[in-house]
Amino acid sequence: MSHQIKPTGRETFFPASELIVSKTDLKGRMTYVNRLFCKMACYDEAALIGQPHSLIRHPDMPRSVFKLLWDTIEARQEIFAFVKNMAATGDHYWVFAHVTPSYDLQGKITGYHSNRRVPSPELIKTTIAPLYAEVLAIEKRHANGKEALAAGYKALTDFVASQKVSYDELMFSLKSAA
């Protein structure tokens, strides 16, 4: 599936009472999506299953946020993160994602599960979008992909360290303050 979609700048929203849910295999390919996921992403279920979750990645998202996410879940830990996704139409929507590993009966990771809630629009506008824009700008200053990712990751983790709390504590303090 080609990913030639251009962002429209239009934001869409989903009800705060609902959750976007998906499951992936170990490589990040979607194995389950709920109806709200399909509706927000503007794809039908058949077009999503088997595709990489990155299909809905918005180009405004720093790669370093996903590095932090993958490093955390591959270390058998859950993570909470704010994510800007892009629908098939080019419209975007923000989520507060909770991503966890899924295990078999022997304790082996078999995939990943994510529930996404509506984040505070004010928090996105005042804190998350500016932070991500700054980190993305740092990544774009590097022509080499590895250097870009390392520089963005350092900026992101330096920001977290400057708040004198863990990443999870920061995510929840931001969510609670909104």
| pLDDT digits 0-9 by tens, 91-125 | 999 999 999 999 999 999 999 999 999 999 999 99
Report the half-sphere exposure of 176 (CA within 13 A, side-chain side).
Answer: 6
Using CA atoms, how far apart are residues 79 and 71, in angstroms rounded to an integer?
Answer: 10
Task: Determine whether domain 20-169 maps to CATH 3.30.450.20.
Answer: yes
pLDDT reading at 2 higher than 50:
no
Return the amino acid letter for 111: G
* pTM of this structure: 0.92
Amino acid code (one letter) for 90: G
Mean predicted confidence (pLDDT) in 33-55: 98
Question: Can you tell me whether residue 117 is helix, strand or coil?
Answer: strand
- Looking at residue 1, what is its pLDDT? 45
